[in-house]
A and B are shown apart, each in its own frame.
Chain A
Amino acid sequence: MKRHLLSAADLSRDDAELVLKTAEELRSLADRPIKKLPALRGRTVVNLFFEDSTRTRISFEAAAKRLSADVINFAAKGSSLSKGESLKDTALTLEAMGADAVVVRHSASGAPHRLANSGWVRSSVVNAGDGTHEHPTQALLDAFTMWRHLGSLDGRRVAIVGDVLHSRVARSNALLLRTLGAEVTLVSPPTLLPVGIEGWPVETSYDLDAVLPKADVVMMLRVQRERMHGGFFPTAREYSRRYGLDGRRMATLQDHTIVMHPGPMVRGMEITADVADSDRSVIVEQVTNGVAVRMAVLYLLLGGSQPAVSTEGLPE
């Protein structure tokens, strides 16, 4: 694997499968009474969050702690976008503290690339979501969840539904799922698909009802109500009617099809409560898998080539 995880495109198929297999080994820890490994003892992981995201931050924090790393949470109030301390100075500060890995969440697309490629830090950089660009560990945990339910993703059809234009989850998933052999269809109103999407390795559709019966996975994206004010769609109600997943639409799915959502959900907007809480929904499991996948990523970036779970150091 490369030294940084900035984009899902950084992962070859072998890399991605190694992450998934490692995550599978590490996930078994969750069932043990002592959920901790010594793999990253003495290493320091900094969670550098320029944007609030409690869910992602605690997931990375739990992952690092279960590998015995020291964790520093750095919630930067305001970035250079809001004339606070610059990204560079923050990075130099962390470097001076001896961070081995920096997990960064930032509202500006490409901020993790700048951190990794500008010579400001020597540590590994993990992109925990940058602007409207990418969120590669989310894609990995999504793929891991699909893999556990469906086995190999080769030829599997995945529908990703919602605000593709502003979604880093959609971008990372489109890239990673293609790498793993799945066929991705992005379903969205035309206003919420990026210009030039014809060049992406995906299918697109404006018609959710036509896509659902063929899908093996339906991934609903969060739609922020403020998009309505940007004129991307007329009303929340119209959006829900055309692109929301409700019980009626869920009934058209194949028996084995799973329903996913990266969270946080807006119940009643893109997904109804009965779908979110149904047997098909793997939304809560995605959260559990998130910790395992992030453990795998941190371990592979920092720990090297030894198996993550050795008998040494495990409780008898």
Chain B
Amino acid sequence: MTTYLVKNVSVLGAEPTDLLLADGVVKEMGPGLSAESVSSVEPVETIDASGLIALPGLVDLHTHLREPGREDAETVESGTRAAALGGFTAVHAMANTEPVADTAGVVEQVWRLGREAGYCDVYPVGAVTVGLAGERLAELGAMADSAARVRVFSDDGKCVSDAVLMRRALEYVKAFDGVVAQHAQEPRLTEDAQMNEGELSGRLGLAGWPAVAEEAIIARDCLLAAHVGSRLHVCHVSTAGSVEIVRWAKSKGWDVTAEACPHHLLLTDELAATYDPIYKVNPPLRSATDAEALRAGLADGTIDIVATDHAPHPHEDKDCEWAAAAFGMLGLETALSIVQETMVDAGRLDWAGVAERMSYAPARIGRVDDHGRPIEVGAPANVVLYDPAARRTVEAAETASLSRNTPYAGMELPGRVVATFLRGKATVLDGKLT
């Protein structure tokens, strides 16, 4: 395996230093390393990283890889290639595949496909209920004990709306230190819902998706988690009210974590006025006030992590009328740029904060040991080199994803992932897959 000597890189924005990535770990660290001074039997490739920032490999707690079942939209291989290009070294693959990842067999298949592809470690998320039907618990313990070692359980795409079932799930996963990641959406309040309910939904004649449908479930689940002493993770928080509820739950000392998605940080419901379903997503794009509350929550730590909710869909499922279109948008390759744009460049989060929100914290929540570790000697060499001064225009056709449903096409975003290392092996070099 090639040994990489990364010269003059700013680790989390600190003074430039050098990194030696060898034998799968950060072997040496400090200024003045040279190819001659390092003892390596392998060839040493030197990377001039002047102006680049080193971040720990990003960890996504919320990715849809679509395999098995919808290999026309994405596969484990194509999705993890997109992840590597976005600076990720680990992704959690959501359970809403066909068949649903509700048995040890399916989660092991997804886990194995990830290992074979080799671009990114894939941690399957197990379904909470059989077939995501919300009726009875899936074999959570079997998935936890499988080779895939599942720790995150979610019916994402659907809400575990039955209060008793949610209570049982929260209780049951304590046996193996699991976490239930809730897709908070009260189903009756969101029947046929199409977009954020507000003045615009009324004008556009698109059925409204009220904030309360999300907030009521989050409030209930925080209370349930506190009652049974379990951990709760809240997926894709999208409203100002949700941020307030999570802030309140944390103030009580309850073990509640929450994620925000890049698109909810950057985009708002005004885009629905185009009737272009590229902007159709679940939960929906909200108001500018909500987006601002998410950014504030992410800055003060109320929102623990950024998760992509990368949701590939084939062209025909977006090239149609709004009501007929699928919910979801791509996110892996643009997440870091959007966090830079909305948080770092806005002075609300430094690079250490980005490492916490996009690597350390998601790894902690997912109980992933080999990722989300600070860049220091002896740590696994899961590292991203990022050029924050670059600017790029997003081109849908350039994505590594099999799908093209990016809402950012044509948009200029800051930053560029230059290299990604997974246990010392380069998955991306010079901004291209190796």
Binding site for B on A (CB under 8 A): 79-81, 86-88, 106-111, 113-114, 117-118, 130-134, 165, 168, 171, 194-200
Contacts and interface: CB of A to CB of B under 8 A. Distances in A.
B268 to A, nearest CB: 15
Given A114-B275, A195-B197, A195-B208, A108 B324 contact: yes
B388 interface: no
Contacts of B207: 132
Contact of B320 (A87, A171, A200): A87
A130 B194 CA distance: 15
Contact of A110 (B199, B200, B275): B275
Given A133-B204, A200-B203, A195 B210 contact: yes
B321 A168 contact: no
8 contacts: A107-B323, A109-B322, A131-B323, A132-B205, A194-B201, A197-B202, A199-B199, A200-B199
A202 to B, nearest CB: 11
A11 B307 CA distance: 43
A108 B323 contact: yes
B204 A109 contact: yes
Interface in B174-214: 194, 197-208, 210
B274 interface: yes
B353 to A, nearest CB: 35
A199 B198 CA distance: 10
Contacts of B200: 196
A80 B324 CA distance: 6
B203 A110 contact: no
A88 B319 contact: yes
A195 B202 contact: yes
Interface string B310-323: 00000010011111
Given A80-B321, A87-B321, A196-B200, A131 B205 contact: yes
A198 B198 CA distance: 10
A297 B194 CA distance: 31
Contacts of B324: 79-81, 87, 108
A130 B205 contact: yes
Contacts of B316: 86
A64 to B, nearest CB: 24
Given A194-B201, A198-B199, 4 more contacts: A81-B321, A86-B316, A109-B206, A113-B275
Nearest to B210: A195
B321 A111 contact: yes
A134 B203 CA distance: 9
Contacts of B320: 80, 86-88, 114
A227 to B, nearest CB: 14
Given A86-B316, A195-B210, A114 B321 contact: yes
Interface string B224-265: 000000000000000000000000000000000000000000
Given A195-B197, A195-B198, A109 B323 contact: yes
A110 to B, nearest CB: 3
A117 B274 contact: yes
A108 B319 contact: no
Nearest to B205: A133
Contacts of B198: 195-196
A109 B203 contact: no
B320 to A, nearest CB: 5
